[in-house]
Structure 1
Amino acid sequence: MNQPDYDFLRKLLREKSGLDLSADKQYLIESRLLPLARKAGLAGIADLVQKLKDGSSALINQVVEAMTTNETFFFRDKVPFDHFREAIMPELLRARANRKSLRIWCAAGSTGQEPYSLAMCVKEMSAALSGWRIEILSTDLSQEVLEKSRAGLYSQFEVQRGLPIQLLVKYFKQVGELWQINPEIRAMVQHRQLNLLHDFSQLGTFDVIFCRNVLIYFDQDTKINIFGRLAKAMEPDGFLVLGAAETVVGLTEVFKPLTERRGLYRPNAAAPAKPAAGLSGLQKIASMAGR
């Protein structure tokens, strides 16, 4: 791949998805986009780039989806789900005792393993949640992975990654060589396509936001901007859950870490009220992006 083509793809991916590729990731683009080019009947990356320059919106979406990492599995990293059961839910059950409702957002829900893991946690707490309304929203940039999530169909390999056997037996049924999560759990999760670069204030406010393993792909200004908007989308006593390699420390003061709970953050009421960095740039990106 020549340098101008690589520079074009880097710029396109950053504008459309926030993906910030370093200068040495040509191999990654080639490994993911060459199969897409061949599938489209093109000889290689150069022809693919030319099609993209011609403005094929369908192909642009396919390129973004091919480059967006969708690696996920049930109860991934375990610790955040321990936090959810042991710290987040007990505190929110006390704090929301009058209204008896909770809203949970998985901001990069991918193929559904994370939101369904949370749904199973909630279901296991059903005795304490009698009469409560629990809403779980799963959003993702990729329509393709959202469709897989809605179907709730997983391979033997996928259900073996992190899913306790007792929950597999309890909440899944075998469909040929696949496993399907039962309708009751599927009905607990709503799905919506969303680009985190764009305004998401229309989603309302949440008590818990899981935003794991997605911000690591963004540049610093984009992270700061998204943190600022996540804080506005959260109840003042809510919880933010980030991935193990992610942090707000050194980036923003709108959230404060819970030192005894790794990866868990709460809104910081004492944070100075100032606009997040890079907002005008992101607004420009949003106007250019089709999604």
Structure 2
Amino acid sequence: MTDADFNFLRLLLHLRSGLALSLEKRYLAESRLGILCRRRGIDKIGLLVQRLRHGNEIELENAVIEAMTTNETLFFRDQSPFELFRNVILPEKLASNAATRTLRIWCAAVSTGQEAYSLAMVLDEMAARLSGWKVQIIGTDISTEVLERARAGIYNQFEIQRGLPIQMLLRHFQQNGDKWQVSERLRAMVELQQHNLLDPSSHLGQFDVIFCRNVLIYFDVPTKTKVLAALAPRLAPDGAVVLGAAETVIGISAAIVPDKQHRGLYRDHRSSHAQAASISLPVLPPAAVAPLLAKVSSRIRA
């Protein structure tokens, strides 16, 4: 692959998906796109790029984006976000949404569905308390290929062993040969849609909880800012955003702010939780400032 071809691919991926492909990842592009070329009977990556330059093969562009998108995920990944969901977010929403008895959750970049089904399992634990509630889990991803896998809810033994407690496996999965399928009841709790985080998302509505984990790490700062700015209007008042452990909004977005009491939890900057978490110092009149400064100074001298 020539330098010109690689730079074209970097630009295409950034414009279409937000993915910031560094120069050091050239080997990754050659490896993944080499596989794509062999699958499609294209002799070399240069010919693939030549077709992409014409700009009239959207399906091929999508295939390139899917090939270059990292879809690493597992059940109950990192554990702490799900404890946060179970012990902090859900009790809040049970109280604040008691009148409407509705709960909407968005799993952005849902990949092959493990995160969405993990949340569904947590909600199933609280089925008695959520009786009569309308609960929606919306999972979105840019890749139609991984969404099809998520809809099927079929996982191999390796995928099942990564993070899924044995009691949940026995309760929520049926074995089919050497693979396992999520129960029909759990699959019915999750609605999956194709969506690019760079595209408008108003059609999705508002959500009480947004999981957008381990996505921002693949974007440059301007793209992170754009994505976070798009998430904020989708968040209901006093809603919650959960990001990945290596992700933050600090220095990137003022629309969503960290919750001071719970690491990894973020709020709309206007929410009561965000305001309550911030420390508010009284504003003193000028006449009261001088005596205080004098007292401090005398203690320092002593």
Provide TM-score, normalisation by structure 2.
0.88
1:197-236 mapped onto 2 (5 Å cutoff): 197-236=198-237
2: distance between equivalents of 1:8 and 1:264?
37
Higher relative contact order (CA 8 A, sep 6+): 1
Q: Give % identity.
A: 56
1: distance between equivalents of 2:22 and 2:260?
31
2: distance between equivalents of 1:190 and 1:76?
20
Q: Which amino acid aligns with 1:48?
A: L
2: distance between equivalents of 1:242 and 1:9?
28
Q: Which amino acid aligns with 2:13?
A: L
2: distance between equivalents of 1:89 and 1:210?
13
Displacement of 1:6 after TM fit? 0.5
1: distance between equivalents of 2:250 and 2:177?
47
The answer to which of 53-62 and 229-238 deviates more is 53-62
Answering whether residue 158 of structure 2 is matched by residue 157 of structure 1, we say yes
Q: Which residue of 1 aligns with 2:36?
A: 36
Q: Which residue of 1 aligns with 2:8?
A: 8
2: distance between equivalents of 1:154 and 1:138?
17
Q: Which runs of 4+ in 1 moved over 6 A?
A: none
1:76-225 mapped onto 2 (5 Å cutoff): 76-225=77-226
Tell me the SS of whatever aligns to 2:23.
coil
Provide TM-score, normalisation by structure 1.
0.91
Structure 1 unmatched runs, 5+:
271-291
Q: Which amino acid aligns with 1:258?
A: D
2: distance between equivalents of 1:57 and 1:256?
37
1: distance between equivalents of 2:158 and 2:23?
34
Displacement of 1:246 after TM fit? 0.6
1: distance between equivalents of 2:59 and 2:267?
39
Q: Which residue of 1 aligns with 2:274?
A: none
Q: Which residue of 1 aligns with 2:296?
A: none
Tell me the SS of whatever aligns to 1:241.
strand
1: distance between equivalents of 2:194 and 2:99?
32
Cα deviations by residue, 1:114-173 (Å, 9 ceiling, x for unpaired): 000000100011111111111000000000100000000000110100000000000001
2: distance between equivalents of 1:145 and 1:57?
18
Cα deviations by residue, 1:214-268 (Å, 9 ceiling, x for unpaired): 1111121111121112111111200000001110011111112123322110110
Q: Which amino acid aligns with 2:58?
A: S
Displacement of 1:41 after TM fit? 1.2
Tell me the SS of whatever aligns to 2:105.
strand
Q: Which residue of 2 aligns with 1:263?
A: 264
Q: How many residues align?
A: 270
Q: Which amino acid aligns with 1:177?
A: D
Q: Which residue of 2 aligns with 1:49?
A: 49
Q: Which residue of 2 aligns with 1:73?
A: 74
Q: Which residue of 2 aligns with 1:22?
A: 22
Cα deviations by residue, 1:89-124 (Å, 9 ceiling, x for unpaired): 001100111111110000111100000000010001
2: distance between equivalents of 1:70 and 1:9?
19
Displacement of 1:206 after TM fit? 0.4
2: distance between equivalents of 1:136 and 1:74?
16
Q: Which amino acid aligns with 2:44?
A: G
1: distance between equivalents of 2:45 and 2:263?
41
Tell me the SS of whatever aligns to 1:62.
helix
2: distance between equivalents of 1:202 and 1:57?
23
2: distance between equivalents of 1:58 and 1:90?
44
2: distance between equivalents of 1:215 and 1:225?
11
CA RMSD of aligned residues (A): 1.0
Considering only CA atoms, is the larger Rg found in Structure 1 or Structure 2?
A: 2
1: distance between equivalents of 2:57 and 2:207?
36
2: distance between equivalents of 1:10 and 1:256?
31
Q: Which amino acid aligns with 2:106?
A: W
Tell me the SS of whatever aligns to 1:84.
helix
Q: Which amino acid aligns with 1:76?
A: R
Tell me the SS of whatever aligns to 1:24.
helix
